[in-house]
Amino acid sequence: RPFHVEPTNIVSVNDDMQRVTDEASAMNKRIHYYSRLTTPADRALIAPDHVLPAPDEIYVYSPLGTAFKVDSCTDGYGKNYSIVTIFVIWNTMMGTSILSIPWGIKQAGFTSGIILILLMGILTLYCCYRVVKSRKMIPLIDTSNWEFPDVCKYYFGSFGQWSSLLFSMVSLVGAMVVYWVLMSNFLFNTGKFIYNFVHDINVTDIVPGTNGSNKVICPSATSSHPPQNRSVMFSSGNNTGFELFEEWWNKSQTVPFYLIAVLLPLLNLKSPSFFAKFNVLSTVSVVYLVFLVTVKAAHLGIHLEYNWFTENDFFVPEFRILFPQLTGVLTLAFFIHNCVITLLQHNRNQENNV
Protein backbone atom coordinates (compact mmCIF):
# COMPACT_ATOMS: atom_id res chain seq x y z
CA ARG A 1 0.00 0.00 0.00
CA PRO A 2 1.33 3.50 -0.72
CA PHE A 3 2.56 5.67 2.10
CA HIS A 4 5.17 8.31 2.85
CA VAL A 5 8.70 7.45 3.93
CA GLU A 6 11.43 9.82 5.06
CA PRO A 7 14.40 9.85 2.64
CA THR A 8 16.73 8.71 5.42
CA ASN A 9 14.65 5.58 5.92
CA ILE A 10 14.68 4.44 2.28
CA VAL A 11 16.82 1.35 2.04
CA SER A 12 17.90 -1.05 -0.67
CA VAL A 13 18.20 -4.81 -0.58
CA ASN A 14 21.82 -4.71 0.51
CA ASP A 15 21.36 -2.11 3.25
CA ASP A 16 20.64 -2.77 6.88
CA MET A 17 16.98 -2.98 7.81
CA GLN A 18 15.65 0.25 9.32
CA ARG A 19 12.30 1.14 10.86
CA VAL A 20 10.03 3.65 9.13
CA THR A 21 8.91 6.84 10.81
CA ASP A 22 5.71 7.42 12.75
CA GLU A 23 4.38 9.53 9.86
CA ALA A 24 4.66 6.57 7.52
CA SER A 25 2.86 4.33 9.99
CA ALA A 26 0.09 6.89 10.40
CA MET A 27 -0.42 7.15 6.65
CA ASN A 28 -0.58 3.40 6.38
CA LYS A 29 -3.34 3.34 9.01
CA ARG A 30 -5.30 6.03 7.14
CA ILE A 31 -5.18 3.93 3.96
CA HIS A 32 -6.49 0.95 5.94
CA TYR A 33 -9.25 3.12 7.35
CA TYR A 34 -10.47 4.30 3.94
CA SER A 35 -10.34 0.76 2.53
CA ARG A 36 -12.66 -0.50 5.27
CA LEU A 37 -15.30 2.19 4.89
CA THR A 38 -16.88 0.52 1.89
CA THR A 39 -16.28 -2.04 -0.83
CA PRO A 40 -13.59 -1.35 -3.47
CA ALA A 41 -16.30 -1.08 -6.14
CA ASP A 42 -17.74 2.03 -4.46
CA ARG A 43 -15.79 5.02 -5.75
CA ALA A 44 -17.48 7.51 -3.43
CA LEU A 45 -15.38 6.78 -0.32
CA ILE A 46 -11.96 6.09 -1.75
CA ALA A 47 -8.91 7.74 -0.25
CA PRO A 48 -8.63 11.37 -1.49
CA ASP A 49 -5.60 12.59 -3.36
CA HIS A 50 -4.19 14.59 -0.46
CA VAL A 51 -3.89 11.39 1.59
CA LEU A 52 -1.93 9.53 -1.05
CA PRO A 53 1.72 10.41 -1.75
CA ALA A 54 2.96 11.64 -5.10
CA PRO A 55 3.78 8.98 -7.72
CA ASP A 56 7.52 9.46 -7.21
CA GLU A 57 7.10 8.91 -3.45
CA ILE A 58 5.33 5.53 -3.59
CA TYR A 59 7.13 2.70 -1.84
CA VAL A 60 6.44 -0.90 -0.90
CA TYR A 61 6.00 -1.38 2.85
CA SER A 62 7.11 -4.66 4.37
CA PRO A 63 6.01 -6.06 7.74
CA LEU A 64 9.61 -5.66 8.93
CA GLY A 65 9.30 -1.90 8.67
CA THR A 66 11.44 -1.31 5.58
CA ALA A 67 10.43 0.54 2.45
CA PHE A 68 11.51 -0.13 -1.12
CA LYS A 69 11.04 2.36 -3.95
CA VAL A 70 8.75 1.22 -6.78
CA ASP A 71 10.35 2.45 -10.01
CA SER A 72 7.35 1.43 -12.12
CA CYS A 73 5.26 4.06 -10.33
CA THR A 74 7.51 6.94 -11.35
CA ASP A 75 6.45 9.12 -14.23
CA GLY A 76 7.83 8.03 -17.57
CA TYR A 77 9.03 4.61 -16.44
CA GLY A 78 8.73 2.05 -19.22
CA LYS A 79 7.82 4.73 -21.76
CA ASN A 80 9.42 5.41 -25.13
CA TYR A 81 10.68 8.65 -26.51
CA SER A 82 8.82 10.14 -29.48
CA ILE A 83 11.54 9.15 -31.95
CA VAL A 84 11.32 5.52 -30.74
CA THR A 85 7.53 5.60 -31.10
CA ILE A 86 7.87 6.95 -34.65
CA PHE A 87 10.21 4.14 -35.65
CA VAL A 88 7.94 1.56 -33.98
CA ILE A 89 4.96 2.75 -36.04
CA TRP A 90 7.09 2.88 -39.17
CA ASN A 91 8.47 -0.64 -38.72
CA THR A 92 5.04 -2.01 -37.86
CA MET A 93 3.68 -0.66 -41.15
CA MET A 94 6.70 -1.73 -43.21
CA GLY A 95 5.27 -5.18 -43.77
CA THR A 96 5.05 -7.74 -46.50
CA SER A 97 2.53 -5.75 -48.53
CA ILE A 98 5.27 -3.36 -49.58
CA LEU A 99 6.87 -6.23 -51.48
CA SER A 100 3.71 -6.42 -53.60
CA ILE A 101 3.51 -2.72 -54.46
CA PRO A 102 5.68 -3.05 -57.63
CA TRP A 103 3.27 -5.69 -58.91
CA GLY A 104 0.34 -3.46 -57.94
CA ILE A 105 1.80 -0.53 -59.88
CA LYS A 106 2.15 -2.81 -62.88
CA GLN A 107 -1.53 -3.76 -62.60
CA ALA A 108 -2.71 -0.18 -62.11
CA GLY A 109 -0.38 1.57 -64.52
CA PHE A 110 2.61 3.74 -63.72
CA THR A 111 0.93 7.15 -63.39
CA SER A 112 -2.29 5.92 -61.82
CA GLY A 113 -0.25 3.77 -59.42
CA ILE A 114 1.68 6.76 -58.07
CA ILE A 115 -1.55 8.76 -57.70
CA LEU A 116 -3.29 5.89 -55.88
CA ILE A 117 -0.40 5.53 -53.43
CA LEU A 118 -0.66 9.22 -52.49
CA LEU A 119 -4.46 9.21 -52.21
CA MET A 120 -4.61 5.98 -50.17
CA GLY A 121 -1.87 7.29 -47.91
CA ILE A 122 -3.84 10.46 -47.17
CA LEU A 123 -7.08 8.51 -46.66
CA THR A 124 -5.58 5.96 -44.25
CA LEU A 125 -3.71 8.72 -42.40
CA TYR A 126 -6.97 10.56 -41.76
CA CYS A 127 -8.70 7.35 -40.64
CA CYS A 128 -5.82 6.62 -38.27
CA TYR A 129 -6.06 10.16 -36.89
CA ARG A 130 -9.76 9.63 -36.19
CA VAL A 131 -9.00 6.34 -34.41
CA VAL A 132 -6.48 8.02 -32.12
CA LYS A 133 -8.90 10.86 -31.36
CA SER A 134 -11.89 8.53 -30.86
CA ARG A 135 -11.20 7.81 -27.19
CA LYS A 136 -11.05 11.47 -26.20
CA MET A 137 -14.34 12.23 -27.95
CA ILE A 138 -16.29 10.13 -25.41
CA PRO A 139 -17.49 12.37 -22.56
CA LEU A 140 -17.79 11.63 -18.83
CA ILE A 141 -15.93 8.28 -19.06
CA ASP A 142 -12.33 7.45 -18.26
CA THR A 143 -11.06 6.00 -21.55
CA SER A 144 -7.35 6.08 -20.75
CA ASN A 145 -7.13 2.27 -20.81
CA TRP A 146 -9.49 1.71 -23.73
CA GLU A 147 -8.53 0.03 -26.96
CA PHE A 148 -10.18 0.57 -30.32
CA PRO A 149 -12.63 -2.38 -29.87
CA ASP A 150 -13.84 -0.69 -26.67
CA VAL A 151 -14.58 2.48 -28.64
CA CYS A 152 -16.48 0.46 -31.24
CA LYS A 153 -18.48 -1.19 -28.47
CA TYR A 154 -19.44 2.22 -27.05
CA TYR A 155 -20.84 3.42 -30.39
CA PHE A 156 -22.09 0.19 -32.00
CA GLY A 157 -22.52 -2.26 -29.13
CA SER A 158 -21.25 -5.83 -29.12
CA PHE A 159 -21.54 -6.05 -32.90
CA GLY A 160 -19.00 -3.24 -33.35
CA GLN A 161 -16.63 -4.70 -30.77
CA TRP A 162 -16.55 -8.20 -32.22
CA SER A 163 -16.46 -6.92 -35.82
CA SER A 164 -13.35 -4.85 -35.10
CA LEU A 165 -11.72 -7.79 -33.34
CA LEU A 166 -12.57 -10.15 -36.20
CA PHE A 167 -11.11 -7.95 -38.94
CA SER A 168 -8.04 -7.26 -36.81
CA MET A 169 -7.47 -10.97 -36.28
CA VAL A 170 -7.86 -11.73 -39.99
CA SER A 171 -5.20 -9.20 -40.93
CA LEU A 172 -2.87 -10.25 -38.12
CA VAL A 173 -3.15 -13.97 -38.83
CA GLY A 174 -2.49 -13.37 -42.52
CA ALA A 175 0.53 -11.20 -41.71
CA MET A 176 1.90 -13.78 -39.27
CA VAL A 177 1.68 -16.54 -41.87
CA VAL A 178 3.51 -14.43 -44.43
CA TYR A 179 6.14 -13.35 -41.91
CA TRP A 180 6.71 -16.96 -40.87
CA VAL A 181 7.32 -17.90 -44.50
CA LEU A 182 9.71 -14.98 -44.99
CA MET A 183 11.61 -15.69 -41.77
CA SER A 184 11.90 -19.35 -42.69
CA ASN A 185 13.24 -18.39 -46.10
CA PHE A 186 15.72 -15.98 -44.55
CA LEU A 187 16.92 -18.56 -42.01
CA PHE A 188 17.23 -21.19 -44.75
CA ASN A 189 19.36 -18.99 -46.99
CA THR A 190 21.50 -17.87 -44.05
CA GLY A 191 22.20 -21.44 -42.99
CA LYS A 192 22.92 -22.48 -46.55
CA PHE A 193 25.33 -19.59 -47.03
CA ILE A 194 27.20 -20.51 -43.84
CA TYR A 195 27.40 -24.18 -44.87
CA ASN A 196 28.69 -23.32 -48.34
CA PHE A 197 31.25 -20.92 -46.87
CA VAL A 198 32.55 -23.43 -44.32
CA HIS A 199 32.77 -26.31 -46.83
CA ASP A 200 34.16 -24.14 -49.64
CA ILE A 201 31.16 -24.58 -51.93
CA ASN A 202 30.73 -21.84 -54.53
CA VAL A 203 27.35 -21.36 -56.21
CA THR A 204 27.35 -18.84 -59.06
CA ASP A 205 24.48 -17.69 -61.26
CA ILE A 206 25.38 -17.62 -64.94
CA VAL A 207 23.01 -14.70 -65.53
CA PRO A 208 21.04 -12.51 -63.13
CA GLY A 209 17.82 -14.14 -62.00
CA THR A 210 15.37 -14.30 -59.12
CA ASN A 211 15.50 -17.94 -58.01
CA GLY A 212 12.98 -19.31 -60.47
CA SER A 213 10.43 -16.49 -60.56
CA ASN A 214 10.12 -13.73 -63.14
CA LYS A 215 13.52 -12.81 -64.49
CA VAL A 216 15.18 -9.46 -63.87
CA ILE A 217 15.05 -7.21 -66.93
CA CYS A 218 18.66 -6.76 -67.97
CA PRO A 219 18.64 -5.63 -71.62
CA SER A 220 21.81 -6.41 -73.50
CA ALA A 221 22.88 -5.46 -77.01
CA THR A 222 24.45 -8.87 -77.57
CA SER A 223 21.38 -10.92 -76.80
CA SER A 224 17.72 -10.49 -77.64
CA HIS A 225 16.53 -13.47 -75.59
CA PRO A 226 15.32 -13.18 -72.00
CA PRO A 227 17.86 -14.43 -69.47
CA GLN A 228 17.57 -17.95 -68.16
CA ASN A 229 18.31 -18.56 -64.50
CA ARG A 230 20.91 -21.32 -64.17
CA SER A 231 23.40 -22.06 -61.43
CA VAL A 232 26.78 -23.78 -61.46
CA MET A 233 28.05 -25.34 -58.23
CA PHE A 234 31.74 -25.84 -57.56
CA SER A 235 32.23 -28.12 -54.54
CA SER A 236 35.31 -29.40 -52.82
CA GLY A 237 33.50 -31.47 -50.16
CA ASN A 238 31.92 -34.91 -50.21
CA ASN A 239 28.43 -35.48 -51.53
CA THR A 240 27.32 -37.54 -48.51
CA GLY A 241 27.62 -34.62 -46.11
CA PHE A 242 25.89 -32.30 -48.55
CA GLU A 243 22.95 -34.70 -48.97
CA LEU A 244 22.64 -35.02 -45.19
CA PHE A 245 22.64 -31.25 -44.84
CA GLU A 246 19.97 -30.93 -47.53
CA GLU A 247 17.84 -33.46 -45.64
CA TRP A 248 18.03 -31.70 -42.25
CA TRP A 249 18.07 -28.16 -43.62
CA ASN A 250 14.94 -28.18 -45.76
CA LYS A 251 13.17 -24.91 -46.53
CA SER A 252 9.62 -26.24 -46.07
CA GLN A 253 9.97 -29.32 -43.84
CA THR A 254 12.53 -28.53 -41.12
CA VAL A 255 13.60 -24.86 -41.07
CA PRO A 256 10.13 -23.46 -40.18
CA PHE A 257 10.16 -25.63 -37.03
CA TYR A 258 13.64 -24.42 -36.08
CA LEU A 259 12.17 -20.94 -35.76
CA ILE A 260 10.15 -22.12 -32.76
CA ALA A 261 13.32 -22.65 -30.73
CA VAL A 262 14.51 -19.15 -31.68
CA LEU A 263 11.28 -17.19 -31.15
CA LEU A 264 9.64 -19.04 -28.25
CA PRO A 265 11.96 -17.55 -25.57
CA LEU A 266 11.32 -14.05 -26.94
CA LEU A 267 7.56 -14.53 -26.71
CA ASN A 268 7.83 -15.04 -22.93
CA LEU A 269 9.10 -11.50 -22.34
CA LYS A 270 6.38 -9.40 -20.70
CA SER A 271 7.71 -5.90 -21.33
CA PRO A 272 6.10 -4.22 -24.37
CA SER A 273 8.75 -1.52 -24.11
CA PHE A 274 11.42 -4.13 -24.88
CA PHE A 275 9.67 -5.19 -28.08
CA ALA A 276 9.26 -1.55 -29.07
CA LYS A 277 12.97 -0.86 -28.67
CA PHE A 278 13.89 -4.18 -30.28
CA ASN A 279 11.65 -3.34 -33.24
CA VAL A 280 13.71 -0.21 -33.90
CA LEU A 281 16.59 -2.45 -34.99
CA SER A 282 14.64 -3.37 -38.10
CA THR A 283 15.13 0.24 -39.21
CA VAL A 284 18.66 -0.81 -40.12
CA SER A 285 17.35 -3.42 -42.55
CA VAL A 286 14.88 -0.96 -44.06
CA VAL A 287 17.65 1.59 -44.64
CA TYR A 288 19.77 -1.15 -46.18
CA LEU A 289 16.98 -2.16 -48.57
CA VAL A 290 16.42 1.45 -49.65
CA PHE A 291 20.15 1.89 -50.22
CA LEU A 292 20.41 -1.41 -52.13
CA VAL A 293 17.47 -0.61 -54.43
CA THR A 294 18.87 2.88 -55.09
CA VAL A 295 22.29 1.53 -56.02
CA LYS A 296 20.82 -1.20 -58.25
CA ALA A 297 18.50 1.26 -59.99
CA ALA A 298 21.40 3.65 -60.63
CA HIS A 299 23.50 0.80 -61.99
CA LEU A 300 20.89 -0.83 -64.22
CA GLY A 301 19.24 2.39 -65.37
CA ILE A 302 15.62 3.08 -66.27
CA HIS A 303 14.15 1.06 -69.14
CA LEU A 304 10.61 2.37 -69.57
CA GLU A 305 8.98 3.15 -72.89
CA TYR A 306 6.07 5.61 -72.57
CA ASN A 307 4.54 4.84 -75.93
CA TRP A 308 0.76 5.22 -76.00
CA PHE A 309 0.13 3.43 -79.32
CA THR A 310 2.67 0.66 -79.87
CA GLU A 311 3.89 -1.84 -77.32
CA ASN A 312 7.39 -3.25 -77.01
CA ASP A 313 9.30 -5.36 -74.50
CA PHE A 314 9.59 -2.55 -71.96
CA PHE A 315 6.22 -0.87 -72.47
CA VAL A 316 4.64 0.44 -69.29
CA PRO A 317 1.01 1.66 -69.51
CA GLU A 318 0.04 4.84 -67.71
CA PHE A 319 -3.48 3.73 -66.71
CA ARG A 320 -5.02 0.28 -66.47
CA ILE A 321 -8.48 -0.95 -65.56
CA LEU A 322 -6.97 -3.32 -62.94
CA PHE A 323 -6.15 -0.46 -60.53
CA PRO A 324 -8.42 -1.89 -57.71
CA GLN A 325 -5.79 -4.58 -57.18
CA LEU A 326 -3.33 -1.89 -56.08
CA THR A 327 -5.86 -0.28 -53.75
CA GLY A 328 -6.39 -3.65 -52.07
CA VAL A 329 -2.65 -4.04 -51.53
CA LEU A 330 -2.37 -0.50 -50.18
CA THR A 331 -5.17 -0.94 -47.63
CA LEU A 332 -3.11 -3.68 -45.97
CA ALA A 333 0.22 -1.92 -46.51
CA PHE A 334 -1.02 1.19 -44.66
CA PHE A 335 -3.09 -0.73 -42.09
CA ILE A 336 -2.10 0.04 -38.51
CA HIS A 337 -5.41 1.21 -37.10
CA ASN A 338 -6.02 -1.80 -34.83
CA CYS A 339 -2.79 -1.31 -32.84
CA VAL A 340 -1.97 2.40 -33.15
CA ILE A 341 -3.62 3.19 -29.79
CA THR A 342 -1.57 0.50 -28.09
CA LEU A 343 1.66 1.76 -29.65
CA LEU A 344 0.96 5.35 -28.67
CA GLN A 345 0.11 4.44 -25.08
CA HIS A 346 3.80 3.79 -24.47
CA ASN A 347 4.83 7.19 -25.79
CA ARG A 348 6.38 9.31 -23.06
CA ASN A 349 5.07 12.57 -24.56
CA GLN A 350 1.36 11.92 -24.98
CA GLU A 351 0.75 15.43 -26.29
CA ASN A 352 2.68 14.51 -29.45
CA ASN A 353 0.44 11.58 -30.39
CA VAL A 354 -1.75 13.56 -32.78
Same domain? 63 vs 86: no
pTM over 0.85: no
Around 346, how many Cα atoms within 13 Å sit in the side-chain half-sphere? 21
For residue 255, what are the contacts with CB-CB under 8 A and spacing of at least 6?
184, 187, 188, 191, 249
Same domain? 279 vs 134: yes
Tell me which amino acid residue 227 is: P
* CA-closest candidate to residue 330, choices 89, 90, 100: 100
Q: Which domain holds residue 172?
A: 82-207+241-346
Question: Residue 39 falls within a domain, yes or no?
Answer: yes
Same domain? 36 vs 130: no
Give the end of a domain, one of 18, 48, 69.
69
Segment 220-235, tens digit of pLDDT: 444 455 445 455 555 5
- Res 120: pLDDT: 93
Q: Is residue 131 a contact partner of residue 145, using CB atoms and an 8 Å limit?
A: no
Question: Residue 200 falls within a domain, yes or no?
Answer: yes
Counted domains in the chain: 2
Same domain? 139 vs 92: yes
- Pair type for strands 59-61 and 67-69: antiparallel
Same domain? 135 vs 276: yes
Same domain? 325 vs 288: yes
Question: Residue 187 falls within a domain, yes or no?
Answer: yes
Segment 261-302, tens digit of pLDDT: 888 888 887 776 677 667 667 777 778 888 888 888 888 777
Same domain? 186 vs 139: yes
Question: Residue 212 falls within a domain, yes or no?
Answer: no
Q: Is the pLDDT of residue 15 over 60?
A: no
Q: Is the pLDDT of residue 240 over 60?
A: yes
Same domain? 16 vs 114: no
- Segments of 115-238 assigned E as strands: 202-205, 231-234
Same domain? 251 vs 337: yes
Question: Residue 281 falls within a domain, yes or no?
Answer: yes
Give the end of a domain, one of 22, 47, 69.
69
Same domain? 59 vs 187: no
